[in-house]
Amino acid sequence: MNRLVVIVATLFVPTTYGAAGGLWCYHDPSCDDTTWSAIVTEHCNGSRQSPINIVSASAVGDETLTAFTFTKYGDNSTMNKIKNTGKTVKVTLKSGVQVTGGALSEAYDSLQFHLHWGNGTSVPGSEHTVDGTRYPMEMHIVNAKSSLNGNTTAAVADDTGLAVLGFFIKAMPSNVTGSPAAWNTLTSYLANITLKDEYINITHDAFSLDELLEGVDRTKYYRYLGSLTTPNCNEAVVWTVFKDPIKVSQDLIDLFSTTVHIEHNSTSDLMTNVFRNIQPDNDWVVTTQGHPASGASTMRSSLGLMALAWMLLRV
């Protein structure tokens, strides 16, 4: 009898943890991304989950995908603090950083950016892939509708409450080191946050978002409606995935998988392979700059309109 109680209790433990929202992971088969749709049903089992593999030839031309206007992206005093969350390295931004345009419905406040990676340059760890290619790393700048005044509960409950800007990171040739300078500075802070929950204020050694995004043509991107890639996987994200990668030297890329640990304990595992696998393609339409010209893309375009109409009806 007692034994049965123990077994039943054990069976329910993962669900309880999932509901608590805390104990998902990347590394352990009992809580890695293959389990999220079961342990965090709201919303990891949904039908517009990210990341996805972007098939470039199937992206539908959309003339409304104009350039963005970035506010304070050139300002070198917007970085607030850098933190080891146990799942990623996250930099929070000071208020006043914004993005508009790019066919977003209103201005969005840039709140933080964080990174996803594999295991150094040898094991790639971007979340999105393009035509099946996975890049070494991916940077996500997370933005929320300005009209929601920083209410993240409201943002994740809104179909388009968040706008995430995704940037691929590609390795430079191996004879280049410590480059670009802004990434050298950013990664120099990793030694101060080797353990989970450690953070430091970014005070001196300033760098700007523009410097981190150097070399990327920010008028060329893919757009689709998806979700957060970590629990609770809320389907609240307008995704922008830029085509050009940021180029970073291999020694700096390697620092992420060799410096920070997943627990508040230096004997715990190093943080590696912190990305979610590709989610099922539910015919969700990916758009990009251009004219909906060819027969194939016109057909896809009407499919896109159908999907849009369905979405509007659903709201």
> What is the rounded distance in angstroms from the CA atom of residue 274 to the CA atom of residue 83?
15
Q: Note if the bond before 51 is cis, omega within 30 degrees.
A: yes
Whichever of 227 and 287 has its CB closer to Zn ion, that residue is: 227
Residue nearest to Zn ion (CB): 140
x/- site string to ligand NAG, residues 97 to 126, per CB under 6 A? ----------------------xx------
Whichever of 157 and 305 has its CB closer to ligand NAG, that residue is: 157
At 112, list the tokens.
């933080």
3-state secondary structure of 152: helix
- For the CB of residue 114, give the shortest distance to Zn ion in the complex, in Å: 6
**Which partner in ligand NAG, Zn ion, none is near 191 (CB below 5 to 8 A by kind)?**
ligand NAG
Residue of 43, 72, 140, 243 that binds Zn ion (CB under 5 A): 140
> What is the rounded distance in angstroms from the CA atom of residue 95 to the CA atom of residue 72?
10
- Please list, in sequence order, all residues whose beta carbon lies within 8 angstroms of the beta carbon of residue 124, skipping any fewer than 6 positions away: 118, 134, 135, 136, 137
- For the CB of residue 143, give the shortest distance to Zn ion in the complex, in Å: 12
| Residue 47 interacts with ligand NAG (CB under 6 A): yes or no | yes
> What is the rounded distance in angstroms from the CA atom of residue 43 to the CA atom of residue 25?
16
Whichever of 232 and 272 has its CB closer to ligand NAG, that residue is: 272
Q: What is the dihedral of CA 264, 265, 270, 276, to 10 degrees?
A: -30
- For the CB of residue 13, give the shortest distance to Zn ion in the complex, in Å: 27
CA-closest candidate to residue 65, choices 218, 215, 168: 218
CA-closest candidate to residue 70, choices 92, 112, 102: 102
Whichever of 143 and 272 has its CB closer to ligand NAG, that residue is: 272
| Residue 200 interacts with ligand NAG (CB under 6 A): yes or no | yes
**Which partner in Zn ion, ligand NAG, none is near 92 (CB below 5 to 8 A by kind)?**
none
> What is the rounded distance in angstroms from the CA atom of residue 40 to the CA atom of residue 156?
15
Distance, C-alpha 286 to centroid of its chain? 17
Which residue stretch of 40-48, 89-97, 101-109, 163-171 sits at the interface with ligand NAG (rule: CB under 6 A)?
A: 40-48
What residues make contact with ligand NAG under the rule CB under 6 A? 41-42, 45-47, 76, 119-120, 151, 153-154, 157, 173, 175-176, 191-192, 200-201, 206, 265, 267-268, 272
What residues make contact with Zn ion under the rule CB under 5 A? 140
